[in-house]
Amino acid sequence: VLQTDYIVMSQKLSAADIIKYTVTMKIFGLMFFIYTAVLQALWPVCAELRVKMQWRKLHRIIFLNIIGGVFFIGLGT
């Protein structure tokens, strides 16, 4: 991780603004990590449903995952 964004920000922003950015990135980074872990856990299930051609179950899982992701991100903001 190069974190070149901090180099640029240090030249243009105040310390308070950089702190706000850092805290926000930590929160959303954690949320992104959790959501990614859920997606990785669901991937084998979705692949199996696709091979078995169980489209309704697959579409339901995808739909619920999208709705859950939107809710999860909304909850974090």
DSSP codes of every residue in 21-59: HHHHHHHHHHHHHHHHHHHHHHHHHHHHHHHTT-HHHHH
pLDDT attached to residue 3: 77
Q: Is 21 exposed, middle or buried (0-12, 13-18, 19+ CB in 10 A)?
A: middle
Amino acid letter for position 7: I
pLDDT attached to residue 2: 67
pLDDT in tens, the chain (77 residues): 567 888 889 999 999 999 999 998 888 888 889 889 999 999 999 999 999 999 999 999 999 999 998 998 888 77
